[in-house]
A and B are shown apart, each in its own frame.
Chain A
Amino acid sequence: MMTVKRDAMNAVILLAFCGLAFYGSTLIPERSLGKTEGDFFPNIIIGILAVLSLLLLVKSVYAYVTSEKQQRTEPKTSLKERWAEGKKVWYTFALFGAYIFIMPLAGYFLSSVAFLFTLYLLLSSNRKRLWLVLIISIVVTYVLSFIFQKFLLVFLPSGVLF
C-alpha cells in the first residue's frame, strides 16, 4: 500500500515537473528558420510525459480505491523507522554536497582526504586503527590525483584558502 501512495505522490511530482518544463519551453524564442521551431519536439515529449504521469496517478488511485480496507489501514512504517533505515544515505548525500562545496576553497587534496576519512567513519562502526584509515585516505587521494593529473592531464582544484 505504501508503493501505491508513493506512486501517487511521484505522479504529482512528475506533473509539476511537466509544468516547469512547459514553462521552460515557452521561453524558447521563435526564429522561423524552418518548418519546426525549437519547442516543437520538447512539447511533444512534455505532452507524452504528462499523459503518462496522469496514467500513473489514475492507476495508483484506482489501486488504492479497489484495495481491501484492511490493506489501507495496515500499520504504517513510522517516519522514525524510515529515517533510521535511510539516514546513512542522506548523511552521505549531505557529506558529498559539503565536500564538493568545500573543494574549490580548500583544494582537492585536503577536502578529499577529509571526505574519505569522514565517510569511512559514517559507514563503518569499527573505530580501531583510525590512523591506518587516515593513511589509506591520504594514499588513495594522492594516487588518484597523480593518475588524473599526470596521465589524464586533469588540473584538479588547488583551493583558494591555502
Chain B
Amino acid sequence: MDSILLSFESILNIQTILILLAGVVAGIIVGSIPGFTITMGVALTLPFSFSMDPVNGIALMMGVQVGGSAGGLITSCLFGIPGTPSSVATTFDGYPMVKNGEAGKALAIGLWSSFIGTIISGIILIFTAPILAEWALEFGPWEMFALMLFGISAIASLSDGSLIKGLISGMLGILFALVGSDPLTAIPRFTFGMSELMSGFNFLPVLIGLFAFSQLMSDIKRPPAPVPFNEASNVSYPLPKLLKDMWSSGTNVIRSSFIGTLVGILPAAGGSIANILSYDIAKKFSRKSHEFGKGTKEGIIAAESANNSSIGGSFVPMLAFGIPGDAVTAMMLGALLIHGIQPGPLLMENQPVLVYGIFISFFLAAFLMLIVQSLGIKVFLKINNIPQHVLIPVILLLCVLGSFAVNNRMFDVWVLLAFGLIGYWMKANLFPLAPFILGIILGPMIEENLRQAISVSPDLTTFFTRPISAVLLVMAAASLTYGIISSMKQNKPNEYEQENKESA
C-alpha cells in the first residue's frame, strides 16, 4: 500500500504531468503524420528520458505511445491514410463516415473508443502482471532461457512475409548485442581493438539509427502523399450524442478491448494485428455486418478500442517477465537498462514504486490523450501540413543530439550513421526491423541464462525435464512452426511475384 501511495506521489506532481502531456502531444503529432511511426517517435524521445528519473522517463515514452496510437486516427478518418500501421482497419469505416459528412462523429467515436480501450487494458494489466511476475520468481536459468527463447520465437510473427529474413534480422540483432565485454568473463569480444566498443554498442544510437534515421531516408526516397486539411471540415460532435452512441455499442467496446489486450500480451502481436482482428470479429458478431465498410460506428469502435488496448497488453510480458512484446516495449526495457534497472520478474519486488508509477502514468496518459486530442484536433491537422523537407532536417538534427547525449562523444553519432545505413539497407531489401531490436534486447539475456544453466548442470536434457522449461520450449517451437507454416502459405505461389512492392 505504501508503494502505491509513493507511486501516486511520484506521478501526481506538475513536472511528471507536464512530461506526460509533452509525450502525448508529441505522440499525437507523430501518429498523425503519414510516414512517421510511433516506434520512431518513442526512439526520438529516449534521449530526453536520460536526465529524468526512471518513472518520468517511462511516462514520457508511454505518453508518446498512447498519444501516437490515437493520433493515427486523425489521418485514418479524415484522409483514408493510416497514420500508423495499427490504424489500418480504422480507415475501413472512418473514412467512409467522413465522406458521408460525419467527420466530427468519426473522430469523436474513434477517440473515445481509444480511451476506453486504454483504460480496460490498464485494468487487466494491473491484475495480471503482478500474478505472472510472482509466478516467474520461481524460475531458474533453465526456465528463464526457455522463456526468452519463447519471446524471441515471436520473430516468426514479426517477419511480415519472409520468415528467413525475419530470423536473419533477429540473429543480426543478437550478434551486434554481443559486441563488448563478455558478461561472465569480462573479456572483450568483437571489439577489434577499439576501446569505444568495450561496453558494446549503446542501445540508443542503434535504435535511433535503425528506426528513425532509416525511416527518414525512406521518406526522402518516397515522400508520403501530402494530405491537405480542409478548413471547412466540421470536426466537433456533441457530447450527449457521443455518450449515447458509445453506450449503445458497449458490448463491442468491451469485447474489442479484451481482444486487443489479449493480442497485445502475445509476443509480437501488436496493435496492427489487434486492429484488424477485432474489426473482423466485430463484423462477424454484428447483425448489420453489411454496413461494415460503409461508415458504421461499430467498425471504428472495434478497430480503435483494440489498437489502443493492445498497448496495455504489451506491458504485461514486459513488466512480468522482462520480455518485450514489440519494438516499443523493447525500447522501454532499454530505457530501464540505461537507468540501471534490470527488467524481469524481480522488478515488481525490487521497484514497486516504479511499477505502480508505470500503471498510474498509463491511466493518466489515456486521460491526457482524450483531453489533448479533443481540444487540439485543428492544430494537429495544421501541423500535419508542415512539408517533409522542413521536418526531416530538424528530426535528423534531433537524432544527432540524442545520440551524442548518451556519452557526450562523437563515436555514438558515427554509430547512429552506421545503423542508419544498416536500417536503410534492411528496409530496402525487405528485412523486418522489429526482430533486430528484439534480438538486441533478448540476446544477452538468452546468453547469460544459457551459460548459467550449463554451468550449474552441463546436462542439456535438464531443459526438458523441468516442466515449466519444457512447456515454454514446446510453446517456442509451436510459435516458430506456426510462423513457418503461415510464411509458406503466404509465399504461395511465389513471394517474388510481389516484386519489391514495399521496397524503400
Task: Contact check, A24 vs B400: say whether CB atoms are below 8 A apart.
Answer: no
Interchain nearest-CB distance for B171 vs A (Å): 4
Q: Which of B195-252 contact A (CB under 8 A)?
A: 217, 220-221
Q: Which of B164, B182, B451 contacts A52 (CB 8 A)?
A: B164
B430 contacts the other chain (Cβ, under 8 Å)?
A: yes
Residue of B with least CB distance to A60: B496
Task: Contact check, B496 vs A3: say whether CB atoms are below 8 A apart.
Answer: yes
Task: Contact check, B220 vs A10: say whether CB atoms are below 8 A apart.
Answer: no
| Across-interface contacts of B126 in A (CB, < 8 A) | none
B175 contacts the other chain (Cβ, under 8 Å)?
A: yes
Q: Which of B86-128 contact A (CB under 8 A)?
A: none
CA distance A53 to B167 in the complex (A): 10
Residue of B with least CB distance to A46: B175
| Across-interface contacts of A49 in B (CB, < 8 A) | 168, 171-172, 175
CA distance A37 to B408 in the complex (A): 33
Which of B192, B388, B455, B496 is most buried by chain A, counting CB atoms within 10 A of its CB?
A: B496
B14 contacts the other chain (Cβ, under 8 Å)?
A: no
When each residue 1-29 of chain A gets 1 if its CB lies under 8 Å from chain B and 0 otherwise, what string results? 11110110010001000000100110111
Q: Which of B188, B192, B450 contacts A41 (CB 8 A)?
A: B450
Q: Which of A35, A40, A52, A153 contacts B167 (CB 8 A)?
A: A52
A138 contacts the other chain (Cβ, under 8 Å)?
A: no
CA distance A35 to B165 in the complex (A): 33
| Across-interface contacts of A115 in B (CB, < 8 A) | 393, 396-397
| Across-interface contacts of A4 in B (CB, < 8 A) | 496
Task: Contact check, B397 vs A112: say whether CB atoms are below 8 A apart.
Answer: yes
CA distance A31 to B178 in the complex (A): 17
CA distance A48 to B439 in the complex (A): 13
Q: Which of B182, B389, B398, B417 contacts A123 (CB 8 A)?
A: B389
CA distance A97 to B172 in the complex (A): 24
Q: Which of A126-159 contact B (CB under 8 A)?
A: 136-137, 140-141, 144-145, 148, 151-157
| Across-interface contacts of B388 in A (CB, < 8 A) | 123
Q: Which of B388-418 contact A (CB under 8 A)?
A: 388-390, 392-394, 396-398, 400-401, 404-405, 408, 410, 413-414, 417
Task: Contact check, A3 vs B51: say whether CB atoms are below 8 A apart.
Answer: no
B424 contacts the other chain (Cβ, under 8 Å)?
A: yes
- Known A89-B221, A104-B410, A152-B405: A141·B165 in contact at CB below 8 Å: no
Which of B175, B410, B413 is most buried by chain A, counting CB atoms within 10 A of its CB?
A: B175
Task: Contact check, B187 vs A48: say whether CB atoms are below 8 A apart.
Answer: no
Residue of B with least CB distance to A10: B429
| Across-interface contacts of B405 in A (CB, < 8 A) | 148, 152, 154
Task: Contact check, A144 vs B398: say whether CB atoms are below 8 A apart.
Answer: yes
4 residue pairs, one from A and one from B, having the closest CB atoms: A123-B389, A38-B182, A124-B389, A119-B393
| Across-interface contacts of B51 in A (CB, < 8 A) | 151-153
B134 contacts the other chain (Cβ, under 8 Å)?
A: no
| Across-interface contacts of B398 in A (CB, < 8 A) | 144
* A/B interface sample: 28 pairs, CB < 8 A: A3-B496, A7-B429, A24-B192, A38-B185, A41-B446, A41-B451, A48-B171, A49-B175, A52-B168, A52-B171, A56-B164, A56-B165, A63-B494, A89-B220, A93-B417, A96-B420, A100-B410, A103-B413, A112-B400, A115-B393, A115-B396, A120-B390, A123-B388, A123-B392, A141-B397, A144-B398, A152-B48, A154-B404
A86 contacts the other chain (Cβ, under 8 Å)?
A: yes
Residue of A with least CB distance to B221: A89
Task: Contact check, B397 vs A140: say whether CB atoms are below 8 A apart.
Answer: yes
| Across-interface contacts of A55 in B (CB, < 8 A) | 164
B458 contacts the other chain (Cβ, under 8 Å)?
A: yes
| Across-interface contacts of A124 in B (CB, < 8 A) | 387, 389-390
B454 contacts the other chain (Cβ, under 8 Å)?
A: yes
CA distance A36 to B220 in the complex (A): 47
B447 contacts the other chain (Cβ, under 8 Å)?
A: yes
Task: Contact check, B221 vs A123: say whether CB atoms are below 8 A apart.
Answer: no
Interchain nearest-CB distance for A117 vs B (Å): 8
Task: Contact check, B424 vs A157: say whether CB atoms are below 8 A apart.
Answer: no
When each residue 37-64 of chain A gets 1 if its CB lies under 8 Å from chain B and 0 otherwise, what string results? 1111110011011001101100100010
Task: Contact check, A42 vs B217: say whether CB atoms are below 8 A apart.
Answer: no
Interchain nearest-CB distance for B500 vs A (Å): 5
A160 contacts the other chain (Cβ, under 8 Å)?
A: no
Which of B50, B174, B421 is most buried by chain A, counting CB atoms within 10 A of its CB?
A: B174
Residue of A with least CB distance to B406: A154
